[in-house]
Amino acid sequence: MNKKKYESKSVVSSYINMRLQNPEVMIIVKYREYISGKHVLDIGCGSGRTTAILKNLSSGYIGIDYSLEMIESCRKRFEGVRFLHGDVRDMSEFKDEEFDCVIFSFNGLDSISHDDRLKGLEEIRRVLKQDGLFVFSSHNRNHRYAISCPKIELSRTPCKQAEYLIRFFKSMRNRLKNKNQQVFNEQYAIINDIAHNYAMLTYYISKTHQVSQLKAKGFETVEMYNTLGNMLNVNSDDKDSAWIYYVAKKLNNKCRKSIARLEV
């Protein structure tokens, strides 16, 4: 949904100096056995925010992104590291069960449509080894500020006020362009949120529906964290967390069939 935006130089440069978030550090430390000396696929690697630590821990790191500008940025920053211009919806360049761990960080899965998201989950499951680890984050539909509208910021400094006005008018223009493309249903929502001055459409889902979605695609949710790094369950209050971090494992076919029989 947002490929063009992620290929703009301004967005690429804004991602270069981003650091790992607390829940990501906690997950990497806790599940290091799935990363250290293992084959790791870093989907949506962006400008290399997660590359530095993952390439040093793993024995076979590959980063992919559907933004060619992001990939070129990574190749300049990390010589000798393998980066591919790729798409989670079709990862035919990889063999079945090639990776011990797949990471799709910083809500990257939320930038494609619902149907494409399901295709992406199927591809991730295919390239993961049995009992392999899948780590990702996704925007939280229960967040108190998930739905918002552009607002004018105020400043006593004329230059700053002019900057705020320009940003407001950009946001209003983008909002008028995108608001009619929003989707709201029981399972998920696609919301024109505040990101990049309302220039994007973003997938939002609750913990309950995300766990169900993962289960339907052959994953077992192991843990969930809020943006502060606090562990959650499906009933936890999560209104202050803009997105949720999920740790899931690939169910083997035997377990998947057993679950399916129990649900019939």
pLDDT tens-digit series, residues 186-214: 999 999 999 999 999 999 999 999 999 99
What value does the mean pLDDT take over residues 55-73? 95
Helix, strand, or coil (residue 222): strand
What value does the mean pLDDT take over residues 218-245? 97
User: Has residue 238 been placed in a domain?
Assistant: yes
What value does the mean pLDDT take over residues 62-86? 95
User: Has residue 146 been placed in a domain?
Assistant: no
What length does the chain have? 264
Number of domains in the chain: 1
Question: Which residues constitute the domain of residue 107?
Answer: 3-138+206-263
Report the distance separating Cα 138 and Cα 153, nearest Å.
28
Whole-number average pLDDT of the chain: 91
User: Has residue 84 been placed in a domain?
Assistant: yes
CATH code for position 240: 3.40.50.150
Residue 9 is predicted with a pLDDT of 42
Residue 99 is predicted with a pLDDT of 98
Q: Do 202 and 193 form a contact (C-beta atoms < 8 A)?
A: yes
Residue 51 is predicted with a pLDDT of 95
| Residue where the block lists tokens 């024109």 | 192
User: Has residue 198 been placed in a domain?
Assistant: no
Query: What's this model's pTM, rounded to 2 decimal places?
Result: 0.89
User: Has residue 188 been placed in a domain?
Assistant: no
pLDDT band at residue 71 using 50, 70 and 90 as cut-offs: very high
User: Has residue 166 been placed in a domain?
Assistant: no
User: Has residue 155 been placed in a domain?
Assistant: no
Residue 14 is predicted with a pLDDT of 42
User: Has residue 193 been placed in a domain?
Assistant: no
Determine whether 153 is exposed, middle or buried from the number of CB atoms within 10 Å of its CB (0-12, 13-18, 19+): exposed
